[in-house]
């Protein structure tokens, strides 16, 4: 997870022009870092490319909007990184 976090934090820092030191595993992408939906698509693009996966952003957004899942589940970075690890593992299984 730590190397995943380093990669994701680097992507967020570069994509959204956020100082790297402000980005921690506990950061909420929306509430703490102020990342909007358009910027998150940029991040998803970079994450998809870096890890060779497809983040199911539309599904996550729908679940959050319908109240079926808390936003933290997907948009707190340590949770996001765990899901990325899961997608990478599923891909190589």
Partner 1 sequence: MRLEYFEMIDKVTLFDADAKRLVAAARVPKHSPVFEGHFPGHPLVPGVLLTETMAQASGYLILGLNGLTQMPFLMTVDKARFRTFVEPDADLVIEAAVSIEGSGYAATKAKISIYGKPICDAELRFRLMPFPADLAELMRARTAAIGLQPEAVS
Helix (H/G/I), strand (E/B), else coil: 2: helix
Query: Candidates 1-9, 22-30, 49-57, 74-82 — which segment interacts with partner 1 by CB under 8 A?
Result: 49-57
Judged by CB, which is closer to partner 1: 14, or 22? 14
Binding-site string for partner 1 from residue 1 to residue 40, where x marks contact by CB under 8 A and - marks none: -------------------------------------x--
Tokens 């997907």 locate to: 74
List the one residue from 44, 77, 80, 84 that touches partner 1 (CB under 8 A): 44
Query: Candidates 5-13, 24-32, 42-50, 85-93 — which segment interacts with partner 1 by CB under 8 A?
Result: 42-50
DSSP assignments along 12-59, one per residue: HHHHHT--GGG--TT-BTTTTT---HHHHHHHHHHHHHHHT----HHH
Instruction: Determine the Cα–Cα distance for residues 22 and 52; give it in Å rounded to an integer.
Output: 26
∠ CA 88-65-12, rounded to 5° = 45
**Binding residues for partner 1 (CB under 8 A):** 38, 41-42, 44-45, 48-49, 54-59, 61
């Amino acid at each position: 997870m730590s190397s995943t976090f380093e990669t994701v934090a680097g992507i967020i820092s570069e994509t959204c022009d956020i100082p790297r030191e402000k980005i921690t595993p506990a950061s909420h992408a929306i509430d703490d870092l102020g990342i909007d939906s358009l910027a998150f698509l940029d991040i998803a693009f970079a994450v998809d490319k870096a890890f060779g996966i497809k983040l199911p952003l539309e599904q996550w957004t729908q679940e959050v909007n319908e109240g079926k899942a808390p936003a933290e589940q997907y948009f707190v970075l340590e949770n996001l990184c765990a899901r990325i690890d899961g997608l990478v593992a599923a891909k190589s299984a």
